[in-house]
Amino acid sequence: MATKAQQTIVVKLGTSVLTGGTKKLDRSRIVELIRQCAKQQALGHRIIIVTSGAVAAGREYLNYPELPKTIASKQLLASVGQSRLIQLWEQLFSIYNIHIGQMLLTRADLEDRERFLNAQDALKALLDNHIVPVINENDAVATAEIKVGDNDNLSALVAILAQADKLILLTDQAGLYTADPRTNPDVKLIEEVEEIDDALKAIAGDSVSGLGTGGMATKLQAAEIANRSGIQTIVAAGSRPDVISDVINDIPVGTRFHSKKSILESRKQWLFGAPPAGRLVLDDGAVEALLKSGRSLLPKGIIEVRDNFSRGEVLDITNKEGKSIARGMSRYNSDALRMIAGHHSQEIIHILGYEYGAVAVHRDDMIIKS
């Protein structure tokens, strides 16, 4: 397949990369990775950073010698460290005149459809304005029930949120080996993975450095989640020169986990996988805009809103005669849609007192029935 000219890429940097295996953040490594990101952004790619390192930054700042043992001490270090970490990203990105925007997420933010959409809108707003999102887990508030727990899994969820083309997991190893290279001298790098099966999971061990969380095991989980959504995942060494540009240009690097499904197929499965929560009936103009011009659905073209649903739920979209023509995810809840149906998008703010954008269902969140 030809390399896409403008890609959305999630780059996850593990503590192992950010510290170079030391007790401190390694500024020269971070600035080198930022240089690579800046270069790719200038070429038109959209870069999203998922950064670990808050705990490491807290340890460095407070001169805390021990690895944190209790959840409370980890949260303490993360909360002190996160502000140091984000300051560092801001300072170093400013060398390239690039602004950053911090997003701290938990699992609860990504599992709830409405909060997922809010996070997606924020992410999109940052990217549209050439601001690099710098994301970490909100460790200070994350309890067992709501936390993702490791940034490998978090980065896969962020890749889905961003509808990314690729997820790059940068770590202290060149990729996935046939066994942990720290404890086995005789290992081989696995360059291509077509299927993540139990045999593969058995060779991906935990982190032994004490710095990272989850080791290769969580990187495999991340690849599995991202692959299911049609997103290719690459595990590679953060220290490899020009690693980000090589991944973007499809030059073989580290371990590449191929996705069997295309992004379109996975979206189709999601939209058609469950019964719709409601129905929108459209006028002829809107039907034509969707079917012939490939447009998003504007509230103006909606003549009826059936059932009650929340923002983010999947709806059936029909013509006046009741024939189903598409499925799509609603940007507004049913009450709001009833109020703005038939109105111009500029009126949304006056009618509702707020707005989530001009469209009722975005083209990217819609599949036309064939």
Ligand X SMILES: N[C@@H](CCC(=O)OP(=O)(O)O)C(=O)O
Ligand Y SMILES: Nc1ncnc2c1ncn2[C@@H]1O[C@H](COP(=O)(O)OP(=O)(O)O)[C@@H](O)[C@H]1O
Residue 38 CB partners (closer than 8 Å, separation 6+): 93, 96, 98
Q: Which residue is nearest to ligand Y (CB)?
A: 14
Using left for φ > 0, alpha for ψ between -120 and 50, and beta otherwise, residue 142 falls in: beta
> Binds 232, which of ligand X, ligand Y, none (CB < 5 to 8 A, cut-off by type)?
none
Classify burial at 186, counting beta carbons within 10 Å of its beta carbon; exposed 0-12, middle 13-18, buried 19 or more.
exposed
The nearer residue to ligand Y, 115 or 182, going by C-beta atoms, is: 182
The nearer residue to ligand Y, 16 or 106, going by C-beta atoms, is: 16
Site pattern 205..234 for ligand Y (x: CB under 6 A): x-xxx-xxxxxx------------------
- Per the structure block, which two tokens stand in for 23? 């007790």
Classify burial at 262, counting beta carbons within 10 Å of its beta carbon; exposed 0-12, middle 13-18, buried 19 or more.
exposed
Residues 251-310 that bind ligand Y (CB under 6 A): none
Residue 172 has a CB neighbour count (10 Å cut-off) of 20
Residues 139-198 that bind ligand X (CB under 6 A): 139, 150-151
The nearer residue to ligand Y, 209 or 245, going by C-beta atoms, is: 209
DSSP for 127-148 reads HHTTPEEEEEE-TTT--TTT--
Interatomic CA distance for residues 277 and 107, integer angstroms: 23
**117: contact with ligand X by CB under 6 A:** no
Site pattern 54..83 for ligand X (x: CB under 6 A): xx----------------------x-----
**Residue 172 is assigned to a ligand binding site:** yes
**Residue 262 is assigned to a ligand binding site:** no
Interatomic CA distance for residues 281 and 142, integer angstroms: 41
Q: Characterize 195-228 residue by residue with b for buried, 16 or more Cβ atoms within 10 angstroms of its Cβ, and e for exposed.
A: ebeeebeebbbebeeebbbbbbbbbbbbbbbbbb
C-alpha 152 chain-centroid distance: 11
Site pattern 164..183 for ligand Y (x: CB under 6 A): -------xxx--xx-xxxx-
Backbone angles phi and psi of 281, in degrees to 5:
-105, 130
Residue 16 CB partners (closer than 8 Å, separation 6+): 171, 172, 207, 209, 211, 212, 238
> Binds 338, which of ligand Y, ligand X, none (CB < 5 to 8 A, cut-off by type)?
none
Q: How far is the CB of 208 from ligand X (least distance, A)?
A: 12
**Residue 183 is assigned to a ligand binding site:** no
- Per the structure block, which two tokens stand in for 63? 């001169």
- Among candidate residues 364, 357, 353, the one with its CA nearest the CA of residue 299: 357
The nearer residue to ligand Y, 173 or 318, going by C-beta atoms, is: 173
Binding ligand X (rule: CB under 6 A), the pick from 33, 161, 173, 212 is 212
Binding ligand X (rule: CB under 6 A), the pick from 9, 11, 14, 235 is 14
> Binds 179, which of ligand X, ligand Y, none (CB < 5 to 8 A, cut-off by type)?
ligand Y
Stretch that binds ligand X, among 8-16, 99-107, 175-183, 351-359 (CB under 6 A): 8-16
Query: 54-62 and 71-94 helices cross at what angle (nearest 10)?
Result: 100
> Binds 139, which of ligand X, ligand Y, none (CB < 5 to 8 A, cut-off by type)?
ligand X
**Residue 12 is assigned to a ligand binding site:** yes
**Which residues make up each annotated binding site?**
12, 52, 139, 151, 171-172, 213-219
Binding site for ligand Y (CB under 6 A): 14-17, 52, 171-173, 176-177, 179-182, 203-205, 207-209, 211-216
**Which residues make up each annotated binding site for ATP?**
12, 171-172, 213-219
Binding site for ligand X (CB under 6 A): 14-16, 52-55, 78, 136-137, 139, 150-151, 212-214
**Which residues make up each annotated binding site for substrate?**
52, 139, 151
